[in-house]
Every structure is written in structure tokens, then in C-alpha cells.
A and B are shown apart, each in its own frame.
Chain A
Amino acid sequence: GAGVSQSPRYKVAKRGQDVALRCDPISGHVSLFWYQQALGQGPEFLTYFQNEAQLDKSGLPSDRFFAERPEGSVSTLKIQRTQQEDSAVYLCASGGSRFKDTQYFGPGTRLTVL
């Protein structure tokens, strides 16, 4: 079946612009995670959804970052008033009920803020 998909794959934004990154999880997966990966580093947790409920947003770096999953499937990560330090790859992962501890990652969105 289809894996996790993310769009766009690449996004260039001017500093101060708002961006929206989309994640389509594997069908039926209840868990959805967002991570941020800076160049040369491992991914860092941003936020977690179980169905439509955002259960953990402790990793969001500032109130400029906002995530939603209104119908418990597709999720959007929004970054307002982007800054250069927001440049990174944003990874989405989903997890199912059968192997609930395993996370399946999408290809990521590479965001470059100029």
C-alpha cells in the first residue's frame, strides 16, 4: 500500500512569509508525528496526534508553529512569519495499531527560508 506522503517536497520562502506543509499518513494509522531535522542532525520531535487530538506539542519551538489534524487523517504543519532558523527538513510519521511503536516516515519537506 501507499506510504506516508508529504507535500510540497521543497519549499522556498522569504523571511516573514507563512508556509503550510501537508502530511498524508498511511490509511488507518491513528498516530501522527511531526519532526524537524536540521542539516547533519537527527530528527527532533515537534508534535504528536492521536486521531484528531493533539496530545503532545512540547517540541514546537515557538508559537509561530501550529499543527492540526481536523479529521484524524491529513495533517498540516503551519509556520507563521518564517525565519532563517526555520530552514530544515520537516518529517511526518504515522503509526498504526498493529505495530504501534513503529513509526513510518514520509520523504519530508525541505524548507529553505531566505
Chain B
Amino acid sequence: SQQGEEDPQALSIQEGENATMNCSYKTSINNLQWYRQNSGRGLVHLILIRSNEREKHSGRLRVTLDTSKKSSSLLITASRAADTASYFCATAFTGGGNKLTFGTGTQLKVEL
């Protein structure tokens, strides 16, 4: 079963705009990770945030984590057409080892 849900399910923006995706999960976690999946390609790891961290940056990506609300957000700034993909959050829940539980994904489309 899926651990959590991403919101929105689909997002369409213009190139240059920012894109924000949210993820909610259900159980206590060790870390939360965001992945990108392009059509025909595998999952690409974007960023990992640990349960004791609140915010993390990597290039144009900014991730926040609120463990009290069991939620995370991924912000992509200055989006590009190449950012068009499905984005998944995945959690390593406490006591679950390193296996990941994925959400349902957000389909992002960046238009020129």
C-alpha cells in the first residue's frame, strides 16, 4: 500500500515559474526522499532530508519537512521544460530498515 499522497496529482506551469509539490505520510520516519521519473527512464534521486532536519537545498530544489504534520514540500524554482516529469516522495519509516514507501506522485508539466 502507498504510504502517502502527493498533492496536487497534476500541475501545469509556464517555464520560469516555480512549482510546489506537497507530500503527506502516515507513520514516523527516519528520512524522506524525493525522486523524479521521466517517461521511459528510471527513478532519479533528487534530495534526501532526515527526520531531524527542517529544510534542505540543492540547486533549484528546496525541500521542507514538518514531522509534526507528517508532511513535506518540494519547491522547484525557475522551472524549465526539462523538469517535466513525475515527482515522487518516498519515506524510510522508523523500524522499516532502508526500504522506501512511495507516494502516488505528482505529474509536472512545464510549458514553453
Q: A residues near B, CB below 8 A?
A: 4, 31, 33, 35, 41-45, 48, 55-56, 59, 91, 93, 95, 100-108
Instruction: Tell which of B45, B48, B99 has the most Cβ of chain A within 10 Å.
Output: B99
Chain B min CB distance to A84 (Å): 21
Q: How far is the CB of A36 from the nearest CB of chain B, in Å? A: 11
Instruction: Give A48 to B1 CA distance when docked, in angstroms.
Output: 17
A67 to B105, CA, bound (A): 27
Q: Is the interface of B mostly helix, strand, loop or mixed?
A: strand
Given contacts A33-B99, A48-B99, 16 further A-B contacts (CB under 8 A): A4-B42, A33-B98, A33-B100, A35-B102, A41-B105, A42-B2, A42-B104, A44-B1, A45-B99, A56-B97, A59-B99, A101-B92, A105-B35, A105-B43, A107-B41, A108-B42
User: Which range holds the interface residue count of chain B?
Assistant: 20 to 34
Q: CA separation between A42 and B102, bound complex, in Å?
A: 6
> Which of B48, B92, B102 sits near A43, CB closer than 8 Å?
B102
Can you give 21 A-B contacts (C-beta < 8 A)? A31-B98, A33-B99, A35-B100, A35-B102, A41-B105, A42-B88, A42-B105, A43-B90, A43-B100, A91-B42, A91-B43, A93-B43, A101-B33, A101-B48, A102-B48, A103-B100, A105-B35, A105-B42, A105-B45, A106-B42, A108-B42
